[in-house]
């Protein structure tokens, strides 16, 4: 039996079984040393791969596989480990892979030369196994920190770009939406000037229209400022809140409104009450917005229902109505800033198109989700999902 081939087959099999472990590429020409290094590393829990200095297409192989760390065994002078390291550090695909040299040469100038071409560490032979493992672990930990930092940077960069895009869109749309009511006020003032009196019914009508239009502008500006505040709030205001108390307080506020509109508003408590860590004022804002919308779009004689369901990992709060529903074409855009459904536009139902966008942002700040299911002409159900526990990463930053 060919011992070398048997050894290679064993190494291939062991590499596959350790596929989820950090992968270390060993570049070594000395056949007698390769099994020792391989067993040492796999015994420590790493996935290992063996290559020689003269492996065909070594560079494309390393670039494609992108091991977590490379060990270059400089036992002999036949392979130019310094040149290999230098090439790796010049290639953007491989420059961040840490390289550790193993060598019988312990002279200072050899170590300096290795560091000059980009080596992360240099270990002279003979060495203690524990020391090699410790150095490997240190380099892998440093690389993981670097990856985490880059990932965080990319996330924050993308989030910043997305917020800038939203801000720019808000400014463009707000300028347009403010222009119309301001123009209307200007026309009403001119009509009032021509009319010359505010004492009669027509004059008072002009004043009422101006007041209503001013209120629309105020609401739009309030929503714009609200979005800005929400984007900069942190989790410091989160406190334990009873879900049943939250439902009861919201329903109590809107029951008189529903009765005045001839709508039946009902709410149901959770049998076994649970608590969530919430920003109370913001979560009340969410439910108030959803209930106000449900009442706004439900005709007299209709029903609006508020209830919650508890699950092992969180709570789902539902607001359901028997109103006009949302057209299917509008559903993908319903939570976008300034978006108003075609039904609301056709029936001239007032609104800034900002309420649901604010709802979505507040819920996401609580690590939750908001969804809608609707059938045009039959009603809608909005569901707010809130987890019992915030993500570990967010908790660590709080």
pLDDT at 305: 96
- Per-residue pLDDT, averaged over 301-321, amounts to 94
Is the same domain home to 262 and 180?
no
- Residue 247 CB contacts under 8 Å (≥ 6 apart), including other chains: 267, 268, 269, 287, 306, 307, 308, 317
Select from 232, 248, 278 the last residue of a domain.
Answer: 232
The predicted pLDDT at position 160 comes to 78
Task: State the average pLDDT over residues 379-387.
Answer: 95
What's the pLDDT at 147?
A: 85
Looking at the fold, whether 222 and 344 belong to one and the same domain comes out as no
Buried b (16+ CB within 10 A) or exposed e, 106-140: eeeebbebbeebbbbbbbeeeeeeeebbebbeebb
- DSSP 8-state code for residue 98: -
Query: Does 135 map to a domain?
Result: no
For the residues 13-39, what does the mean pLDDT come to? 71
The vertex-65 CA angle with 63 and 66, nearest 5°, equals 65
Quick one: pLDDT at residue 13? 38
Give Cβ neighbours of residue 354 (< 8 Å, ≥ 6 apart): 220, 223, 224, 226, 227, 337, 338
Residues 171 and 62 in one domain: no
pLDDT of the residue at 396? 42
Phi, psi angle pair for 224, to nearest 5°: -60, -45
Co-location of 106 and 30 in the same domain? yes
The span from the CA of 271 to the CA of 354, in Å, is: 34
3-state secondary structure of 135: helix
Whether residues 123 and 256 share a domain: the answer is no
Q: Are residues 36 and 103 in the same domain?
A: yes
End of a domain among 166, 200, 232? 232
pLDDT of 94 reads 86
User: Across all residues in the chain, what is the average pLDDT?
Assistant: 80
Per DSSP, the three-state class of 106 is coil
pTM value? Answer: 0.50
- Owning domain of residue 112: 3-127
CATH of the domain at 314: 3.30.565.10
Helices (H) and strands (E) counted in the chain, each on its own, are 12, 12
What's the confidence (pLDDT) of residue 9?
A: 43
More confident residue, 369 or 238: 369
Does residue 385 contact residue 313 with C-beta atoms inside 8 Å? no
More confident residue, 232 or 14: 232
Residue 284 lies in a domain: yes
Cβ contacts of residue 89 below 8 Å, gap of 6+? 95, 117, 118
Judgement on whether residues 64 and 209 belong to the same structural domain of the protein? no
Amino acid 10: pLDDT: 41
Q: Judge if 258 and 391 occupy the same domain.
A: yes
Looking at the 3D structure of the chain, how many domains does it have?
Answer: 3
Is the pLDDT confidence value at 282 over 50? yes
Q: Confirm whether 381 is domain-assigned.
A: yes
Asked which of 181, 214, 232 is the last residue of a domain, the reply is: 232
Identify whether 133 is part of a domain. Answer: no
Q: What percent of the chain has pLDDT over 70?
A: 79
Lowest mean pLDDT of 101-105, 175-179, 318-322, name the range. Answer: 175-179
139 occurs within a structural domain: no
**244 lies in some domain:** yes
Region of poorest pLDDT, from 74-83, 84-93, 106-115, 131-140: 74-83
How sure is the predictor about 315, in pLDDT bands with cuts at 50, 70 and 90?
A: very high
**CATH number for the domain harbouring residue 11:** 3.40.50.2300
pLDDT at 58: 78
Instruction: Indicate if 82 and 217 belong to the same structural domain.
Output: no
Residue 113 has pLDDT above 80, yes or no: yes
Any idea what the CATH number is for the domain that residue 182 is in? 1.10.287.130
Give domain status of residue 134, yes or no: no
Average pLDDT over residues 115-127: 89
Per-residue pLDDT of 187-231, as tens digits, reads 778 787 777 777 788 878 778 778 877 776 776 677 666 666 666
Amino acid 172: pLDDT? 63
pLDDT at 50 over 60: yes
* 200 and 251 fall within a common domain: no
Give tens-digit pLDDT for 344-367: 544 555 555 677 888 898 898 889
Tens digits of residue pLDDT in 242-269: 999 999 999 998 888 899 889 999 999 9
Query: Greatest CA separation found in the chain?
Result: 113
How far is residue 334's CA from residue 357's CA, in Å, rounded to a whole number?
8
Domain annotation covers residue 150: no
Average pLDDT over residues 130-157: 88
Q: What pLDDT band is residue 51 in, cutting at 50, 70 and 90?
A: confident
pLDDT tens digits, one per residue of 88-100: 888 888 888 999 9
The residue among 1 and 200 whose pLDDT is bigger is: 200
pLDDT band at 169 (very low <50, low <70, confident <90, very high): low
> Which pLDDT does position 398 carry in this prediction?
46
- Residue whose C-alpha is closest to residue 259's, from 304, 297, 290: 304
In this structure, are 8 and 79 located in the same domain? yes
Q: Are residues 251 and 351 part of one domain?
A: yes
pLDDT at 134: 92
pLDDT on residue 373 = 93
Instruction: Tell me what pLDDT residue 178 has.
Output: 66
Q: What is the pLDDT of residue 322?
A: 94
Cα angle 370, 375, 380; round to 5: 40
45: left (phi over 0), alpha (psi -120 to 50) or beta: left
């Amino acid at each position: 039996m060919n011992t070398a081939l048997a050894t290679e087959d064993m190494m291939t099999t062991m590499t596959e079984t350790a596929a989820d472990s950090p992968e270390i590429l060993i570049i070594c020409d000395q056949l007698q040393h390769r099994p020792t290094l391989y067993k040492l590393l796999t015994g420590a829990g790493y996935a290992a791969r063996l290559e020689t200095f003269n492996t065909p297409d070594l560079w494309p192989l390393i670039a494609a596989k992108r091991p977590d760390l490379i060990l270059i065994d400089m036992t002999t002078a036949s392979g130019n480990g310094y040149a290999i390291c230098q090439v790796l550090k010049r290639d953007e695909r491989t420059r961040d892979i840490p390289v550790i040299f193993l060598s019988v040469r312990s002279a200072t100038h050899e170590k300096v030369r290795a560091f000059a071409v980009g080596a992360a560490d240099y270990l002279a032979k003979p060495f203690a196994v524990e020391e090699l493992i410790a150095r490997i672990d240190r380099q892998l930990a440093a690389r993981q920190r670097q990856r985490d930092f880059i990932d965080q940077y990319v996330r924050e960069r993308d989030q910043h770009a997305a917020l800038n895009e939203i801000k720019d869109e808000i400014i463009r749309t707000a300028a347009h939406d403010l222009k119309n009511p301001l123009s209307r006020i200007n026309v009403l003032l001119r009509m009032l000037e021509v009319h010359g009196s505010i004492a009669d019914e027509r004059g008072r009508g002009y004043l009422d229209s101006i007041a209503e239009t001013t209120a629309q502008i105020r609401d739009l500006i309030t929503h714009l400022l609200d979005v800005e505040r929400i984007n900069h709030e942190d989790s410091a205001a989160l406190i334990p809140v009873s879900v049943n108390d939250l439902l009861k307080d919201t329903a109590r506020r809107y029951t008189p409104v529903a009765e005045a509109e001839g709508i039946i508003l009902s709410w149901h408590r959770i049998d076994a009450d649970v608590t969530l860590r919430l920003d109370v004022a913001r979560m009340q804002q969410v439910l108030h917005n959803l209930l106000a919308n449900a009442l706004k779009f439900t005709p007299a004689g209709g029903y609006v229902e508020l209830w919650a369901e508890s699950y092992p990992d969180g709570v789902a709060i539902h607001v359901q109505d028997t109103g006009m529903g949302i057209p299917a074409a509008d559903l993908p855009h319903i939570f976008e800033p300034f978006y108003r459904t075609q039904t609301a536009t056709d029936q001239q139902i007032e609104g800034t198109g900002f309420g649901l966008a604010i709802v979505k942002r507040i819920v996401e700040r609580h690590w939750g989700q908001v969804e809608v299911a609707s059938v045009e002409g039959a009603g809608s159900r909005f569901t707010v999902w809130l987890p019992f526990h915030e993500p570990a990463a967010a908790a660590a930053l709080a």
